[in-house]
């Protein structure tokens, strides 16, 4: 049986002090507060991704707005990285990092398996690179496409340097060929780019309403999304989601198709109440394909600090037993 898949979103890093959408919005509006027109756009929409897509890619506003908003996004992600750097010092986190690494390592499958394991993420932050390391448990975790990883796990608190940045290839087959020639067995796949990936326009981070259109223009992102789709559509896959709010149409469409046509089993680890999670699908801003996804998911209302409490390291609590049995086929 193929190993289960892991997918994380902003809520994953939020466990360690990271920002959710409201936090990013607050950082961006603070940065642009001196530009009345841009601030008005943000306040009226209350959705920084919508404004970002319109101003940066949609021709909305002028050059000064575009440059200011790009600078605001860079500043917000720099501040997020500053928070992430010192996550291990945050006493409020309460997560046993060793247990979390071991949990992630289980998505690599069993030793000797022909199937690669995949850890997909929609995050552009560097929390995994800094604190979970390039090794998850005893299983090496490699960036998809054989991208050179920043060696941040050796010194999680250090600032990024130019040598940590990855200049991306424009060759559409470069990353596919690299993976085909490699024997690496556990891949970390950044579906929306990364704070340390560089193009001629700066950091490659997919933000805005037209994500799939932007992804189609960038070889590494297109390859990563194709991999997500291919792996998701394998028969009777299991997908474990942590911290994703089901707001991305291109991701939801693929999950919905896998549920309908490929017998996908979908598990969501989120401390939200069942009603709050339901509202994210059926509320005023309900998720695309939410009416199809919601009835088919299994929700566990638990945080990472409850699942892997630092107060009792090495203890396998009841939540862990239930999740092990469902996701990995272990004993409940």
Residue range 140-170, pLDDT digits in tens: 678 887 887 777 777 888 888 888 888 888 8
Higher pLDDT among residues 319 and 2, named by residue: 319
> Is 125 within 8 Å of 81 (Cβ atoms)?
yes
- Tokens 């006493």, residue located: 91
- pLDDT digit string (tens) for 185-199? 888 999 998 888 887
Bin 34: left if φ > 0, else alpha if -120 < ψ < 50, else beta. Answer: alpha
Among 8, 5, 4, smallest CA distance to 304 is for 8
Output the pTM of the full model. Answer: 0.91
DSSP helix/strand/coil, 3:
coil
> Which of 99-108, 175-184, 227-236 has the weakest average pLDDT?
175-184
- Tokens 């092990």, residue located: 324
Percent of the chain with pLDDT over 70: 90
Average pLDDT over residues 58-62: 77
Q: How deeply is 265 buried, as exposed, middle or buried, from its count of CB atoms within 10 A (0-12, 13-18, 19+)?
A: middle
Instruction: Check residue 95 and report its DSSP letter.
Output: B
Instruction: Check residue 296 and report its DSSP letter.
Output: G
DSSP helix/strand/coil, 301:
coil
> Is 24 within 8 Å of 48 (Cβ atoms)?
yes
pLDDT tops 70 at residue 282: yes
Using pLDDT thresholds of 50, 70 and 90, give the confidence band for residue 273.
Answer: very high
Listing from the earlier edge strand, what are the strands of the sheet with 193-199?
166-167, 193-199, 202-205
For the chain, the first-to-last Cα distance in angstroms comes to 19
Q: Which residues contact 279 (CB under 8 A, 6 or more apart)?
A: none
Among 48, 6, 58, smallest CA distance to 26 is for 48
As a whole number of angstroms, the distance between CA 108 and CA 61 comes to 46
Question: What does 11-45 look like in DSSP terms, one character per residue?
Answer: HHHHTTT---HHHHHHHHHHHTTT-HHHHHHHHHH
The CA angle 84-88-89, to the nearest 5 degrees, is 100
As a whole number of angstroms, the distance between CA 62 and CA 12 comes to 35
As a whole number of angstroms, the distance between CA 120 and CA 6 comes to 6
How long, in residues, is the chain? Answer: 332
**What is the enclosing helix (H) or strand (E) of 74?**
helix 63-85
Among 93, 115, 35, smallest CA distance to 67 is for 35
DSSP helix/strand/coil, 71:
helix
């Amino acid at each position: 049986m193929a190993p289960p898949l892991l997918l994380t979103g902003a809520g994953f890093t939020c466990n360690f002090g990271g920002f959710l959408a409201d936090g990013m919005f607050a950082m961006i509006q603070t940065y642009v507060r001196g530009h009345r027109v841009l601030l008005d756009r943000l306040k009226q929409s209350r959705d920084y991704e919508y404004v970002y897509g319109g101003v940066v890619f949609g021709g909305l506003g002028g050059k000064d707005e575009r440059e200011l908003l790009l600078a605001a996004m860079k500043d917000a992600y720099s501040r997020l990285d500053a928070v992430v750097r010192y996550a291990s010092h945050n006493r409020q986190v309460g997560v046993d990092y060793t247990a979390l690494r071991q949990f992630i390592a289980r998505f690599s499958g069993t030793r000797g398996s022909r199937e690669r394991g995949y850890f997909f993420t929609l995050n552009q932050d560097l929390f995994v690179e800094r604190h979970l390391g390039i090794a998850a448990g005893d299983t090496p975790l490699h960036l998809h496409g054989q991208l050179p990883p920043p060696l941040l796990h050796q010194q999680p608190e250090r600032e990024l340097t130019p040598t940590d940045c990855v200049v991306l290839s424009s060759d559409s087959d470069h990353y596919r060929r690299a993976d085909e020639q490699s024997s690496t067995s556990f891949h970390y796949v950044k579906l929306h780019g990364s704070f340390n990936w560089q193009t001629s326009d700066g950091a490659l981070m997919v933000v805005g309403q037209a994500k799939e259109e932007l992804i189609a223009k960038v070889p590494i992102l297109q390859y990563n999304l194709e991999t997500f789709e291919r792996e998701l559509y394998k028969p009777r896959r299991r997908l474990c989601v942590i911290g994703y709010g089901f707001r991305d149409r291109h991701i939801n469409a693929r999950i919905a198709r896998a549920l309908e046509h490929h017998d996908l089993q979908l598990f969501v680890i989120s401390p939200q109440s069942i009603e709050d999670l339901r509202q994210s699908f059926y509320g005023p801003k309900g998720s695309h394909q939410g009416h199809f996804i919601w009835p088919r998911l299994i929700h566990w209302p638990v945080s990472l600090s409850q699942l892997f409490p630092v107060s009792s390291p090495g203890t396998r609590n009841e939540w862990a037993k239930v999740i092990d049995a469902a996701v990995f086929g272990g004993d409940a």
